Amino acid sequence: MSFESDNTASVHPSILAAIVRAGEVRSASYGSDPWTRQLMPRFSELFEAEVAVHPVLTGTAANALALSELTPSWGAVLCHSGAHVLTDECGSAGYLGGGLTLVPLEGEHGKITATAVEKWLSTRRSGDPHQAPASTVSISQPTERGTVYTLEEIAALGAVCNAHEILLHMDGARFANALASVGCTPAEMTWKRGVDMLSFGATKNGAFAAEAVIDFRVICGNDLLYRRIRAGQLLSKMRLVSAQLLAYVSEGLWLKLAARANEAAVQISAVLAGLPHTHIIHPVQANAVFVEMPRDTAERLYAAGFKFFHRMSPTGNLYRLVTSHDTTAQELGKFLRTLIRTDAGGARQQFN
Amino acid sequence: MSFESDNTASVHPSILAAIVRAGEVRSASYGSDPWTRQLMPRFSELFEAEVAVHPVLTGTAANALALSELTPSWGAVLCHSGAHVLTDECGSAGYLGGGLTLVPLEGEHGKITATAVEKWLSTRRSGDPHQAPASTVSISQPTERGTVYTLEEIAALGAVCNAHEILLHMDGARFANALASVGCTPAEMTWKRGVDMLSFGATKNGAFAAEAVIDFRVICGNDLLYRRIRAGQLLSKMRLVSAQLLAYVSEGLWLKLAARANEAAVQISAVLAGLPHTHIIHPVQANAVFVEMPRDTAERLYAAGFKFFHRMSPTGNLYRLVTSHDTTAQELGKFLRTLIRTDAGGARQQFN
Amino acid sequence: MSFESDNTASVHPSILAAIVRAGEVRSASYGSDPWTRQLMPRFSELFEAEVAVHPVLTGTAANALALSELTPSWGAVLCHSGAHVLTDECGSAGYLGGGLTLVPLEGEHGKITATAVEKWLSTRRSGDPHQAPASTVSISQPTERGTVYTLEEIAALGAVCNAHEILLHMDGARFANALASVGCTPAEMTWKRGVDMLSFGATKNGAFAAEAVIDFRVICGNDLLYRRIRAGQLLSKMRLVSAQLLAYVSEGLWLKLAARANEAAVQISAVLAGLPHTHIIHPVQANAVFVEMPRDTAERLYAAGFKFFHRMSPTGNLYRLVTSHDTTAQELGKFLRTLIRTDAGGARQQFN
Amino acid sequence: MSFESDNTASVHPSILAAIVRAGEVRSASYGSDPWTRQLMPRFSELFEAEVAVHPVLTGTAANALALSELTPSWGAVLCHSGAHVLTDECGSAGYLGGGLTLVPLEGEHGKITATAVEKWLSTRRSGDPHQAPASTVSISQPTERGTVYTLEEIAALGAVCNAHEILLHMDGARFANALASVGCTPAEMTWKRGVDMLSFGATKNGAFAAEAVIDFRVICGNDLLYRRIRAGQLLSKMRLVSAQLLAYVSEGLWLKLAARANEAAVQISAVLAGLPHTHIIHPVQANAVFVEMPRDTAERLYAAGFKFFHRMSPTGNLYRLVTSHDTTAQELGKFLRTLIRTDAGGARQQFN
């Protein structure tokens, strides 16, 4: 049983079925197929606005293409120091974006604040070409720390961006988890708060490989079509991705799956919070739990067959537990029982 | 019924089944899954040599990553003036390759010759940094004209490359069709003739989206791992591609499918060759037929529901017919009957 | 005595003096100095329009920055197959332009025609992202063959570009030679004929290292400031370049120097035209002469100490003679006398 | 009188004279001239080792080309958070380096330590392509804070780099100031301590525009020749730069000029240290002084005609004073007298 990452989950049966249906017939190539043609109306309906939808294969591609579209090659993208685009995409945004600059900002719980952006901007020499000008702010929703920006926080960032003519990008690799957590509409979390472009992820929540760049102001016209093929992201059988995306948002599947994953994380955090020797580091608002616990406790969980990441933090042993759409009640129950027993044991040992 | 492109075909049931089997279970992410781990031994066996296999999503990605690996950003890639990398990938190799230069060479039937490469090289000022130095030769096998390089032609190119310390890349988007046409082993068509890297395509011959860079001399070490993630080509569920590739080469499926497509093209060309007003432009050696025929003939075929591309050539109306792994005997029969009837009619009209 | 290239000439004394005057005083850095500040008004006056002037160090930098500004990274630049940007700048435009594509067009005497551009455009599939869309046409004035576009030819290209929403770039590495040849104003040769951006060269005509991008429609706003520093082209003592540019256009120096070089080329071509065994290949309209002559004749000129380039052409031995602002009357006289003597000798030998 | 930057200084007469001598004659182009040919033997002698020398126009070009040579496009360069390459070159290294990543490390007085590099490396997941691998460490000598690495500090960094197969780059925009400060040989400060490549600057210390990449292990072969022309840094009259570089290192001129600038900074810091309300922030080891002083004191100095930069720091008003090779004794005397008077006044006012 793995809590390593939602990347190791299975593909949801409805999405597998959609893949099969799309694959067993002939269809027009390069996005002229009926599935891809449906994306724009379907997502425009979903987001209550006319949006452009550019399906791609990976979250890295979605982020790098979105940022390269929003930012000139000489521009700077402000993001959290722990943002996925900065720490886990091997510089893809710089590569596909012609050498654009990612600027790390610090912030609690994986979030950057409007104030931090304002403060950074105030240190810049305006119009001096020695400094890469701030072109874009990129936030992750949920963040890499399992927290979720409130609508007010997003609106504040949107307002700062607007005041400084900076564009706002949202990395929504787990967008559904954020929506399920906040309980608002997709529109309320994005363009209504000033988000210009969204990396919309489905892969971590039940799809096989399906992401999309959602362009709320149709800012980029057809430019992204050119960028996309040049990154090798234009499938001849584009319906492979589009069919997944359509199935994913059909009948609320995406939100149901995300709610399930979120709920499992809440249950884990509830148990952890009641244990004497653990310390939850970040508010648990999506499907990830960051917890400090005794090394010994973790070792016993590992020995019981559970998998999850460990790393040293300044204050001790930090562990990350990620739940997923296919985490079952039985698995969760077994983990929680083991955890309670183990912590008790760990505690005993610690004080013996 | 479409002869527009093998891109519009259905996915072969065995490959769809492999996708489902890979998707319905949990597995390790980013290529640590059992499917991806099998690729290197499986392809090394297939190619009778230790090869590195880098699965990617599209032929454009395979070509651009291979060329960017073989060619420094200041280098030149020599290819046919009609090569896919030059005419149909929107400059992807230049983009992902840091501004590398593609140099078009002319040549009959979509092929470049060792002599043409030698001649081009002889016009260069050696060591003069004003000129992008030739680093790579890229050939398509089969070519974009439906022809296939003989093993001798490849060997001659390999020898020229070797003599000038130039690397040899093969764009094998339809590699199986070439193999089925020549009837040799994969090794005989590639590294035994001097090919250093192969873009191995499965998508046009029954897969959904599955290509791979095959590195015969493990030239690039791990560099391609970095290049690949930066192009957004590293799937978290890499097994989506790897499972397709494994199913594709299992029990000779790839060669059976390619032979079927090739055979359909041969049948079409046989009928066309017997018609009085058509002229086959290139030898039909894979699954594409390039033919000049009266506009009227084509119009009647279109009217009967057949689809295929038209463009003006210097000598008249040129049409391209592409067969595919799922072209059925019934469809082919219907097309050929219509063609014979139509041409007779076209001829009558022409002379009335 | 060298007719190899105008690159090997000396620097004109007025320009050297301007360099010294600018260097011996302190001044503001990065283009805030009085020399650089004068560029925009001075060149706006010269070109009878408000222009932006971006001084850079080399013609390659001017071309690559101009093209990267006019062309999106996925766009195509149409140019002559012998254009300097294509053949002698080691792919700089592709490098600085994010992988943009240079498309070679053929044309007599180093020129491309409006008709050739139209014809090429007519073969493209509009809006298909597989093909790099034509964004810019780049012409060299004078061309690499020593010919000069007429104002009508430029206007025709300007009109085609305008009709297709394509921008028109002029590589004016030897712009003064073209002006001196045609005898029109700078405005008449550029923006009045539809040119959007000019690479303005001074280095080949008396300066040490001084080029500029002239932006006629101030298309790029401040973007080029960012591109320029990123290419390492923003000097802290920018006055080094600006002082040269100001001295160069002061009191018509540039046109006087260009006229002198052109006149020397005309004299050489007049003598060559009178010789029985030579064949001038391109109209001599600037400061270069392309001539086929017996190998023997050339060898005797080499033996007499004259230098110039040779290369094999399909029809024989082709030689290029380039005159310069500092070609003296004595040198020219000596060369012409040797030439006449030599050719006579060459002829004798040839027929013996 | 300006203490804003050594960029605003005049050019030393010997260097101007060298420019004139190189310009008034004809010579071979693109670096085949006698001046450029002398660079390699001259600098090899200077550095007591066979080195390759690549003259360029600006420090940004030197840094970006050196880093792009040392670092694959997917690699990371570790540097101080205040490094010039990171903060003042508008992302040039990312641009010319194909999207390479600059990683900011913190460190006192503008320096990074071997320990900080080790610590950062220890947090990385080795071989995981999600993370840009560390390829290069770049240090500035002197730093942007006017401090100078000791030979021991450089050796420690060299040892860490060597242990991790990382290359060590030194940004020596003011290399002479560091040498004059430490009093060692060029070899002792560079390759003998593990430095692989040096950006050698002359522009800030008496030249007009002259920098060079010094490659100690001739790592890059001819690759840098290609990179250089593609960045528009290959002058046709390369002797413009080479003549400056030769004059600069002739008869110890460079070290004399640097010593003069350093000495002026020491004198300023000595006076500042004796004032009651100022606080020198960083050790003054080259030609820059960073000082906190009362706003009022600064305003009076400004009113007296002196120029220097101000910025807010967390602890108050921070000022930077940069001396230069052409700072005269009279100017310095006047400034110091004004400073003493002003501070007394400032102090009186402050306590009144």
Dmax over CA atoms of chain B, in Å, equals: 70
Counting beta carbons within 10 angstroms of the beta carbon of residue B305, is it exposed (0 to 12), middle (13 to 18) or buried (19 or more)? Answer: exposed
> Both B103 and B39 in a single domain?
yes
3-class secondary structure, C349: helix
Q: Which of B208, B233, B251 is the last residue of a domain?
A: B251
Determine the average pLDDT of the residues in D16-28.
97
Is D222 domain-assigned? yes
Tens-digit pLDDT profile for residues B47-64: 999 999 999 999 999 999
What percent of chain C has pLDDT above 90? 89
Domain encompassing residue A296: 253-351
> Both A306 and A203 in a single domain?
no
> Both B180 and B325 in a single domain?
no
Tens-digit pLDDT profile for residues B60-98: 999 999 999 999 999 999 999 999 999 999 999 999 999
> Both A233 and A153 in a single domain?
yes
Label residues B133-146 b or e (16+ Cβ within 10 Å = b).
bbbbbbbbbbbbbb
Q: Which has the minimum average pLDDT: B262-266, C47-51, D308-312?
A: D308-312
Give the β-pairing of B76-80 and C309-313. Answer: unpaired
Q: Which of A36, A71, A126, A230 to mutate to test the interface with C (most CBs of C within 10 A)?
A: A230
- Hey, what are A55's tokens? 């399906």
3-class secondary structure, B101: strand
Is B4 domain-assigned? no
- Hey, what are A77's tokens? 């993208």
> Both D152 and D33 in a single domain?
yes
Show which of residues 229-288 on chain A sit within 8 Å of chain C, judged by CB atoms. 229-230, 234
Show which of residues 133-172 on chain A sit within 8 Å of chain C, judged by CB atoms. 133
Determine the average pLDDT of the residues in D128-142.
96
Is C1 domain-assigned? no
Cis amide prior to B142 (ω within 30 degrees): yes
Tokens 């038209």, located at residue: B310
For A150, phi then psi, to 5°, come to -75, 160
Tens-digit pLDDT profile for residues C224-241: 999 999 999 999 999 999
Tens-digit pLDDT profile for residues B281-306: 999 999 999 999 999 999 999 999 99
CB D324 within 8 A of CB D6: yes
Interface pTM, i.e. ipTM: 0.95
Band of residue D163 on the pLDDT scale cut at 50, 70, 90: very high
Given D99, D133, D226, which is nearest B74 (Cβ)? Answer: D226
Q: What angle do CA D310, D313, D314 make, to 5 degrees?
A: 165
CA distances from A186 to A176, A195, A351, C248, D201 (A): 9, 11, 50, 61, 54
Mean pLDDT of chain D: 94
Residues of chain C contacting A98 with CB distance shorter than 8 Å = 73, 98
- Hey, what are D329's tokens? 């004794």
Q: Which CATH number goes with the domain that contains B313?
A: 3.90.1150.10
Chain C: closest CA distance from residue B316 (Å): 15
Q: Which of B251, B277, B293 is the last residue of a domain?
A: B251
Q: Which residues contact D333 (CB under 8 A, 6 or more apart)?
A: none
- Hey, what are A240's tokens? 């492979």
Rounded to the nearest 10°, the torsion over CA B152, B158, B160, B166 is: 160
Is the confidence at residue D233, as pLDDT, over 60?
yes
> Both B106 and B59 in a single domain?
yes
Count the domains in chain B.
2
Give the β-pairing of A316-322 and A309-313. Answer: antiparallel
Query: With left for phi above 0 and alpha for psi between -120 and 50, is residue C256 left, alpha or beta?
Result: alpha
Q: Which CATH number goes with the domain that contains B139?
A: 3.40.640.10
Is D248 domain-assigned? yes
Q: Which of A251, A280, A297 is the last residue of a domain?
A: A251
Is the confidence at residue C349, as pLDDT, over 50?
no
Q: How many CB atoms lie within 10 A of CB D127?
A: 9
> Both B32 and B131 in a single domain?
yes
The pLDDT value given to residue D347: 47
Tokens 């491309």, located at residue: C112
The pLDDT value given to residue A333: 95
CA distances from A98 to A138, A314, C61, C68, C77 (A): 17, 36, 17, 11, 18
> Both C277 and C219 in a single domain?
no
Residues shown for chain C:
352
Contacts from C219-222 at CB under 8 Å and sequence distance 24+?
C219/C69, C219/C70, C219/C167, C220/C52, C220/C69, C222/A127, C222/A129
- What is the rounded distance in angstroms from the CA atom of residue C57 to the CA atom of residue C284? 28
> Both A44 and A167 in a single domain?
yes
Given B24, B90, B235, which is nearest A57 (Cβ)? Answer: B235
Determine the average pLDDT of the residues in D255-281.
95
Residue B111 is which amino acid?
A: K
Label residues B220-257 b or e (16+ Cβ within 10 Å = b).
beebbbbbbbbbbbbbbbbbbbbbbbbbbbeeebbbeb
CB B62 within 8 A of CB B199: yes
The pLDDT value given to residue D312: 80
Q: Which residues contact C192 (CB under 8 A, 6 or more apart)?
A: none
Chain B: closest CA distance from residue D33 (Å): 15
Residues of chain C contacting D57 with CB distance shorter than 8 Å = 57, 232-233, 235
Given D74, D90, D97, which is nearest A132 (Cβ)? Answer: D90
> Both C194 and C129 in a single domain?
yes
Is the confidence at residue C220, as pLDDT, over 90?
no
Residue among D55, D29, D31 nearest C11 (CA): D29
Residues of chain D contacting A84 with CB distance shorter than 8 Å = none
Tens-digit pLDDT profile for residues D29-56: 999 999 999 999 999 999 999 999 999 9
Is C192 domain-assigned? yes
Count chain A–chain D contacts defined by CB atoms under 8 A. 57
Given A73, A91, A131, which is nearest D101 (Cβ)? Answer: A91
Cis amide prior to C142 (ω within 30 degrees): yes
Chain C: closest CA distance from residue D118 (Å): 30
Is C6 domain-assigned? no
For C267, phi then psi, to 5°, come to -65, -45
Q: Which residues contact B80 (CB under 8 A, 6 or more apart)?
A: B86, B104, B105, B106, B107, B110, B111, B112, B139, B140, B143, B144
Counting beta carbons within 10 angstroms of the beta carbon of residue B87, is it exposed (0 to 12), middle (13 to 18) or buried (19 or more)? Answer: middle
Q: How many CB atoms lie within 10 A of CB A154?
A: 25
CB atoms C229 and D90 under 8 Å: yes
Determine the average pLDDT of the residues in D177-192.
98
Tens-digit pLDDT profile for residues C55-75: 999 999 999 999 999 999 999
Q: Helix H segments across A71-221?
A: 84-87, 92-96, 114-122, 151-163, 175-182, 186-189
Is D2 domain-assigned? no
CA distances from A88 to A59, A92, A212 (A): 11, 9, 19
> Both B186 and B302 in a single domain?
no
- Hey, what are A123's tokens? 């240190």
CB D196 within 8 A of CB D167: yes
The pLDDT value given to residue B351: 38
Is A330 domain-assigned? yes
DSSP string, A251-316: GGHHHHHHHHHHHHHHHHHHHHHTSTT-EE-S---SSEEEEE--HHHHHHHHHTT-B-EEEEETTE
Is the confidence at residue B352, as pLDDT, over 80?
no
Chain D: closest CA distance from residue B92 (Å): 14
What residue ranges of chain A have pLDDT lower than 50?
A: 347-352
The helix (H) or strand (E) run that includes residue C86 is helix C84-87
Tokens 């001196």, located at residue: C180
3-class secondary structure, B241: helix
- What is the rounded distance in angstroms from the CA atom of residue B77 to the CA atom of residue C259? 41
> Both C132 and C234 in a single domain?
yes
Tens-digit pLDDT profile for residues D305-347: 999 999 887 778 999 999 999 999 999 999 999 988 876 655 4
- What is the rounded distance in angstroms from the CA atom of residue C250 to the CA atom of residue C35? 13
